[in-house]
Amino acid sequence: MGLDQSLIGRSYPPSEVYEVSRAKIAEFADAIGDTSSLSRDAEAARAAGYPDVIAPPTFLTIANLGAIDALVSDPELGLDYDRMVHGDQSFVHERPVHAGDRLEVTTHVDSIFARAGNDFLTLRAEIHTDGGELVCTGRAQLVVRGEQ
Amino acid sequence: MTIRVGDELPPLSVRVTRGDLVRYAGASLDFNPIHFSDRVASEVGLPGVIAHGMLTMGIAGRVVTEWVGDAGRVLSYATRFTRPVVVPDDEDGALVECSGTVTAVEDDIATVSITAKFEGRPVLGKATATVRLT
């Protein structure tokens, strides 16, 4: 197996627009046990200077999964989803995500290398509004475990 | 309040049950069966159903967001996933113990080193967040 290193630098065009809802933010906050009023109460969020309720810092894992899907569905890349694990993840936020944001993800393959029989791929997800404003950059290292 | 290098953030201990994994799967849209099916987990060589790494990252991030009181002040958050959190099919689930220490303060921005442990061993590596203090 082994991933094709000539695919370093490949990018995938923006996904469909994902519209962030108050309900999804509250649902995500509940799922990680985050009880902040800023993720549930629009008035509290506005009082803190935000346009609407804001998402917890890892909420954009939803967009990141979209980026992983873009890679997994590229036959030339040939990522074996069943053997893939999440090696690392980072988010650099330009501003918090808030309800009403209309987000798109552009996915880039930043690196591919093999080590000790495993393949390592780093993807960069540029998460921006449909108006082109960069909101967050997510980076994930995906590890594809070699056949034992 | 003056924030200094070496300050410890209030720690956080969270029990993660199978029900929590189902809830997180729906909230995050990550429906990988290794997070709910013992059969699939064992087929891929895992010791059992494991928590989503992103769930552990999300829980550990609360050490920082609850300390600073405003998730919108988190400028960056990064971690490696070094060890799985195995979640048994019982009422107690898995205990994840999180803590944080301020490692740098520059101007208005603090860097926090976060730890998350399961069965006494770290499950996140080099987990770091930067936060705006005002």
Q: What is the CATH number of the domain that holds A110?
A: 3.10.129.10
Residue B82 CA to residue B43 CA, distance in Å, equals 20
Residue B20 sits at the chain A interface (C-beta within 8 Å): yes
Range of the domain at A77: 5-20+60-144
Which residues of chain A does B29 touch, with a Cβ-Cβ cutoff of 8 Å? 62, 65
In a domain, A39, yes or no: no
Is the residue at A13 inside a domain? yes
Among chain A residues, the shortest Cα distance to B73 is held by A96
pTM of the predicted model as reported, rounded to 2 decimal places: 0.95
Q: State the average pLDDT for chain A.
A: 93
> What are the structure tokens assigned to B9, written together?
């953030």
Q: B22 at the A interface (CB within 8 A)?
A: no
Measured between alpha carbons, how far is A143 from A121 in angstroms, rounded to an integer? 7
Full pLDDT tens readout for chain B, 134 residues: 689 999 999 999 999 999 999 999 999 999 999 999 999 999 888 899 999 999 999 999 999 999 999 999 999 999 999 999 999 999 999 999 999 999 999 999 999 999 999 999 999 999 999 999 98
pLDDT of residue A1: 54
Neighbours of A139 (CB within 10 A): 18
Interface test with B, best of A15, A28, A32 (most B CBs within 10 A): A32
- The confidence band for A148, taking pLDDT boundaries of 50, 70 and 90, is low
Q: ∠ CA A87-A89-A90 to the nearest 5 degrees?
A: 155
In a domain, residue A33? The reply is no
* Nearest chain B CA: its distance from A141 CA (Å): 9
Tokens of A108: 């880039």
- The pLDDT of residue B55 is 98
Q: Is residue A114 part of a domain?
A: yes
Chain A residues with beta carbon closer than 8 angstroms to that of B47 = none
Kindly state whether residue A51 falls inside one of the protein's structural domains. Answer: no
- Contact state of A39 with B71 under an 8 Å Cβ cutoff: yes
Q: How far is residue A81's CA from residue A83's CA, in Å, rounded to a whole number?
A: 5
Predicted confidence (pLDDT) at residue A2 exceeds the cutoff of 90: no
User: Over 90: is that where the pLDDT of A4 sits?
Assistant: no
What is d(CA B114, CA B97) in angstroms, rounded to the nearest whole number?
11
d(CA A124, CA B36): 28
B47–chain A Cβ distance below 8 A for any pair:
no
Cα→Cα distances A38→B60, B72, B132, Å = 18, 9, 16
Fold of B12-132: Thiol Ester Dehydrase; Chain A (3.10.129)
Residue A88 DSSP class? E
Number of domains observed in the structure of chain A: 1
